[in-house]
Chains A and B, each alone.
Chain A
Amino acid sequence: MARTLVFLEHHEGAVQKGSLGVLAKAAQVGEFAGAVVGSDVHTVAESVGATVWVADDARLAAPLPQPRVDVLAKLVRDEGYDTVLFAQSVLAADVAAGLAARLGAGLNWGLVDFDGETGTAPALQDTVVVDVGWSTPVRIGIFRAGALDAEALDGTADVRDAAVELEDFSTAAEMVEQAHAEQQGPSIEDAEIIVAGGRGLGEPEKFALAEELARALGGAVAATRAVVDAGWYPYSAQVGQTGKTVSPKLYVALGISGAIQHKVGMQGANVIVAINKDPNAPIFEYSDLGIVGDLHEIVPKLTELVRSRKS
């Protein structure tokens, strides 16, 4: 049985879905509590139906990692947690690593599961799955984005105040201007859902089909090398061996044959749905749901159905 502390990252008043997923996992493997760190964040902590430590201080307003290392380290030492878990994010990765160094604790990242003793982490572009362990008294783990489902915990909120004692060097970096909400969709590397278009779209204008579907699903749009070469879509959206590598929860491939140069860029996706009119397209060998059909007929209907579900 583990005694776990979960870092609950929050943004604009809400706890991040990834963190809630990790909290739910912690609940499965023993005693657990969350930690919310920031300024004016009691309401955020209260929204979580579980024991949550709150470190509330004006010096913690900016989402910078090093002060959070101070807070979590003190909590671990004072309360005797043996496990600290994070959901992958830019901030979380820095906090976790700093904390590992502070506590002399082993750090495993890219986790997709944890049973209280051993973690599971895919490696080498998901061609192998490694069972990982820790040899230190305190264990630190970072879960891969999208690996766990965010289940709301329906326990009673129990908010406790955590002490805030910060090192000098932790507060040396200062936030000059914080990021504001992005207007466009997520970048493809961070997106949990990606709709990708290939040559089967037929012509550049048909990328609108992919864009509409992505918008309806709340995802980003990607492209294959072939269509980027042909000038239909910018290189920044290219997924594949000579483009970006992505591992979203859902990858919808429209009119993509799925040659290995493309596959290596997206094979880590949790769920792959492919629509192609060629029944022998290689993509059907590794997709979870393959539809042999005309994407020009299927996609508009699909987009409509998704939209109506959401409303």
Chain B
Amino acid sequence: MSIRPSEFAPPWSTSDAIAPPTDPVDERIEVGFLIVGAGPAGLAAAIRLGQLMEEDPATAERLGDVPVAVLEKGKAPGAHLLSGAVVNPRGLQRLFKGRKRIDEMPFYGEVHGESVLFMTKSRAVRIPTPPTMINHRNYVASLSQLGRWLAEEAEELGVTILPESSAEQLLVDGGRVIGVRTGDRGRGRSGEELGNFEPGSDIAARVTILAEGTQGHLTGAALERFGLRGENPQVWALGVKEVWKVAKPLDQVIHTMGWPLRAAKRYREFGGSFVYPMGDDMVTIGMVVGLDYRDTELSVHDLLQELKTHPRIKQILEGGERVQWGAKTIPEGGFVALPSRFHAPGLLLCGDGVGLVNVPALKGIHYAVESGRLAAEAAWRTLARGMSMRSALASYDESLRESFIWSDLREVRNMRQAFGRGFYVGGALAGAMTASKGHFPPGDAPTERDADQSLISTDRAASYPAADGKLVFDKLSSVFASGNRTRDDQPNHIRIQDKVPRELAELWAHMCPAQVYEVGEADGDGTVKVKLAPSNCVQCGAITAKGGRLTPPEGGSGPEYTVT
């Protein structure tokens, strides 16, 4: 009798994240435009607004003392940003048109060579690069570093960045989003107020732009509350990566498929790995696996460790040293999982939070930047005389549909879903889709929820390599390498049922790259308690895809990424 994670819904509902304002009006913080998330989407929106303010100071006056504010739950911009990444510069070029050239942006160099490898346990065979994955004229970047740079650019344009501030609730009044309430700080393990308790604040804004990234907390609630969901649910992949100092430079961008993932359809293991050079002396390596996998013993972190033992990969890291580790989920539903609308009264949605990711090309950053830029322009239009608030916000949707984001995503729709039918069938279908530029096969493939996949158990964990502290690392030392030093006595921010069947607890224990979940004592009827170590959490979001819910912990906690 196999179970599905979705049968054990977490004790959480979207209404927990939506509320009317509670602070007295004179205690409320008023800003012009409020952006939630200092990632590429949020900062692009902030920068574009900054540019518009520069060009039209008279209109900018109407936005008050704090015309643009960006809330960031991490310790600083970049602390929670993680990606591969090979970036298509198109989005940034449009954003900084006439102001900055590519060589002034913090990239690690243009991609000069690339290969795609099909791996088996001992061999790596080069296969022709699928057209969707060609990275000619793209640039390697650390998203965390890029975020820090974008934040500096935004601040120079008069944007106020508020780090260590989590957005806990969307403030809705009279059917309209009027802002956001930030989370409390200084609560103890049982929620009690500690000596330095600081309650959250209501922040009111003319327009709120949500750019929260994957598993966006308020974004998910907004899609529900305003009926914005599309026909298909979103699905995610979990990526775990490391950054290494290396002895010899890597001269190309590498992607792999195959081992250690299993091709048979019943496992539903879709994904692969990447190895990117970061300048001459660093390399980043990561493993990405769709969260629709079924094996309770699958651990993406351990698959990454296993991957590193492959001779072809090991030689790249030889003589090197790991400097950082991190994990994050990636929305993979693509075009068919997009919301039906990207705006609501007082609200605009951008970036990974609404799934703007091109899965076959492994690209989302330039879409995030472009969507942020378009959102900024729509928000600015709300200040234009002669245009109603409603049409200004609706113009965002129009501009999205006319943008390259839309045409790109439509062309590659169904590709990810095809891989639900196994690697080989999926591969064939993907090939057909590329050749036909998305016209064949026709129609939209349905997407199944990650949490609806029934679980199986294999002996997978027995093959994970043992940690040696040099090439292979355990989860706890990896959490340390993410810069995470969250205080231990914070309230628990993970929502799960705490008594579940053993297999579900085992799924979570293996799934979580930060070792937050542990199978606890048996409770008699085949269920077990789940023990939590929430301060380990690096906020990747995997639990939300597999039957639980991640809510934002106290602002400033979690990882402190710098080069991921």
A binding-site residues for B, Cβ under 8 Å = 225, 228-229, 235, 238, 241-242, 259-261, 264, 280, 282, 285
Contacts and interface: CB of A to CB of B under 8 A. Distances in A.
B interface secondary structure, majority: loop
Contacts, number: 29
17 contacts: A225-B488, A228-B488, A229-B533, A235-B489, A241-B480, A241-B485, A242-B486, A242-B487, A242-B488, A259-B474, A259-B477, A260-B476, A261-B479, A261-B480, A264-B480, A280-B466, A282-B474
B91 to A, nearest CB: 38
Contacts of A261: 476, 479-480
A260 B535 contact: no
Contact of B488 (A229, A280, A285): A229
A238 B477 CA distance: 18
A279 to B, nearest CB: 12
If over half of A's interface residues share one DSSP class (helix, strand or loop), that class is named, otherwise mixed; here it is helix
A149 B35 CA distance: 61
Nearest to A261: B480
B535 A242 contact: yes
B469 A242 contact: no
Contact of A260 (B477, B486, B487, B533): B477
A235 B194 CA distance: 14
Contacts of A235: 488-489
Interface string B155-179: 0000000000000000000000000
Nearest to B487: A242
A264 B476 CA distance: 13
B469 to A, nearest CB: 7
A153 B94 CA distance: 78
Given A242-B487, A282-B474, 19 more contacts: A225-B488, A228-B488, A229-B488, A229-B533, A235-B488, A235-B489, A238-B488, A241-B485, A242-B488, A259-B476, A259-B477, A260-B476, A260-B477, A260-B480, A261-B476, A261-B479, A280-B466, A282-B469, A285-B469
A225 B489 CA distance: 10
A225 B484 CA distance: 15
Nearest to A229: B488
Nearest to A225: B488
A169 B488 CA distance: 45
A264 B479 CA distance: 14
A260 B489 CA distance: 19
- Bin chain B's interface residue count: 10 to 19
Nearest to B466: A280
A77 B466 CA distance: 63
B53 to A, nearest CB: 42
Contacts of B474: 259, 282
A225 to B, nearest CB: 6
Interface in B471-497: 474, 476-477, 479-480, 485-489
Nearest to B515: A259
Contacts of B476: 259-261
A265 to B, nearest CB: 12
Contacts of B489: 235
A261 B486 CA distance: 11
A282 B486 CA distance: 22
A259 B476 CA distance: 7
Counting from the closest, the 7 A-B pairs by CB-CB distance are: A259-B476, A260-B477, A260-B480, A242-B488, A241-B485, A261-B480, A225-B488
B485 A242 contact: yes
Contacts of A259: 474, 476-477, 480
A225 B485 CA distance: 12
Contacts of A228: 488
Nearest to B481: A260
Nearest to B479: A261
A282 B474 CA distance: 10
Nearest to A230: B531
A259 B488 CA distance: 16
Contacts of A264: 480
A280 B466 CA distance: 10
A260 B480 CA distance: 7
A77 to B, nearest CB: 47
Contacts of A242: 485-488, 535
Contacts of A238: 488
A278 to B, nearest CB: 13
Nearest to B478: A260
A78 to B, nearest CB: 51
Nearest to A235: B489
Contacts of A282: 469, 474
A276 to B, nearest CB: 15
A264 B489 CA distance: 19
Interface in B82-110: none
Of A238, A260, A264, A282, most B-chain CB atoms within 10 Å: A260
Interface in B451-482: 466, 469, 474, 476-477, 479-480
A225 B534 CA distance: 12
A137 to B, nearest CB: 43
Contacts of B477: 259-260
Contacts of B486: 242
A204 to B, nearest CB: 15
B559 to A, nearest CB: 14
A264 B485 CA distance: 12
A285 B487 CA distance: 27
Nearest to B468: A285
A259 B536 CA distance: 13
Nearest to A228: B488
A235 B486 CA distance: 15
Contacts of A241: 480, 485
- Of B466, B480, B488, chain A has the most CB atoms within 10 Å of the CB of B488
A274 B151 CA distance: 47
Contacts of A260: 476-477, 480
A260 B536 CA distance: 13
A107 to B, nearest CB: 31
A238 B474 CA distance: 22
A241 B486 CA distance: 10
A238 B480 CA distance: 17
A66 to B, nearest CB: 33
B323 to A, nearest CB: 14
